[in-house]
């Protein structure tokens, strides 16, 4: 099999002749790609899907390492939500929904601060920790992109509100799953202060989710009649 180097936009990747044919049929604006342990077919497929892959593989040697990584991923997720919510406030029509998004924006800013606090203390306690900055959350990036599409595609106000609630609840459920896991990991690791902070955030995410469910019960019939 013949292999060739392909400029992926962020570096070169190796592609076999089959992958190369497909990759070279893409437009000039090729999405960035990061390759790690993936096979060349995986890399070629990722280019075609417009996805990013990792240049370098992580090596999570223990629970603490993957816990720290997950904290950084959630820091990225929360920062993405802080940037997305103002537009959701503006595009929501129902006043209660606008207020729910607005108050959750303020809560989310606190969620960012809590994660920064936990990561900061983690670095102070363990000098081998190099970075405590956000690690791009691919899932939240996709969820926010879907929300942006929905805002454009749902022109009726009730339908858009129903869709915004659905989008926000997908975000909440992702966060609830992530914070539930991180709280449990923090407890196992003896990080009691972190576990309490993560629990506070988890409770607030759950409350936001329940509030959205109650607003949806009122709004959905209007969206149905639109």
For residue 107, count CB atoms less than 10 angstroms from its CB and return exposed for 0-12, middle for 13-18, buried for 19 or more. middle
Beta bridge partners of 101: none
Q: Which stretch binds Fe ion (CB under 5 A): 42-50, 63-71, 101-109, 115-123?
A: 101-109
Nearest to Fe ion of 93, 113 (CB atom): 113
Token pair for 173: 């459920």
Token pair for 178: 């992530």
Question: Measured from the CB of residue 108, what is the shortest distance to Fe ion in angstroms?
Answer: 5
3-state secondary structure of 12: strand
Question: Measured from the CB of residue 139, what is the shortest distance to Fe ion in angstroms?
Answer: 14
Nearest to Fe ion of 158, 179 (CB atom): 179
Q: Which stretch binds Fe ion (CB under 5 A): 44-52, 90-98, 105-113, 182-190?
A: 105-113
| Interacting residues of 123 by C-beta distance below 8 A, sequence separation 6+ | 129, 132
Question: Measured from the CB of residue 201, what is the shortest distance to Fe ion in angstroms?
Answer: 6
Task: Report the distance separating Cα 198 and Cα 143, nearest Å.
Answer: 22
Task: Say whether residue 111 binds Fe ion (CB under 5 A).
Answer: yes
Nearest to Fe ion of 47, 182 (CB atom): 182
- CA nearest 169: which of 132, 135, 195, 206? 206
Question: Measured from the CB of residue 18, what is the shortest distance to Fe ion in angstroms?
Answer: 43
Question: Measured from the CB of residue 142, what is the shortest distance to Fe ion in angstroms?
Answer: 17
- Using Cβ positions, the residue closest to Fe ion within the complex turns out to be 111
Beta bridge partners of 12: 7
Task: Report the distance separating Cα 93 and Cα 160, nearest Å.
Answer: 8
- Number of chain residues interacting with Fe ion (CB under 5 A): 2
Looking up tokens 């149905």 gives: 224
Q: Which stretch binds Fe ion (CB under 5 A): 67-75, 107-115, 127-135, 189-197?
A: 107-115
Q: What is the number of other CB atoms lying within 10 angstroms of the CB of residue 189?
A: 16
Residue of 108, 132, 147, 178 interacting with Fe ion (CB under 5 A)? 108
* Interface residues toward Fe ion, by CB under 5 A: 108, 111
């Amino acid at each position: 099999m013949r292999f060739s180097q392909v400029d992926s936009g962020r570096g070169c990747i190796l592609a076999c002749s089959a992958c190369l044919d497909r990759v070279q049929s893409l437009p000039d604006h090729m999405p960035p790609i990061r390759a790690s342990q993936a096979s060349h077919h995986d890399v070629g497929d990722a280019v075609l899907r417009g996805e990013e892959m990792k240049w370098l593989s992580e090596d999570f040697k223990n629970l603490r390492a993957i816990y720290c990584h997950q904290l950084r991923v959630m820091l990225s997720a929360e920062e993405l939500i802080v940037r997305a919510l103002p537009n959701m406030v503006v595009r929501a029509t129902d006043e209660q929904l606008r207020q729910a998004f607005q108050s959750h924006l303020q809560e989310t800013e606190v969620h960012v601060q809590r994660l920064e606090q936990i990561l900061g203390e983690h670095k102070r306690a363990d000098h081998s920790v190099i970075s405590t900055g956000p690690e791009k959350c691919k899932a939240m990036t996709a969820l926010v992109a879907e929300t942006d599409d929905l805002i454009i595609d749902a022109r009726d106000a009730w339908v858009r509100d129903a869709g915004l609630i659905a989008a926000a609840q997908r975000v909440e459920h992702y966060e609830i799953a992530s914070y539930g896991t991180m709280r449990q990991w923090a407890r196992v690791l003896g990080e009691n202060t972190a576990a309490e902070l993560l629990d506070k955030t988890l409770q607030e995410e759950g409350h936001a989710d329940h509030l959205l469910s109650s607003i949806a019960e009122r709004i959905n019939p209007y969206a149905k009649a639109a």
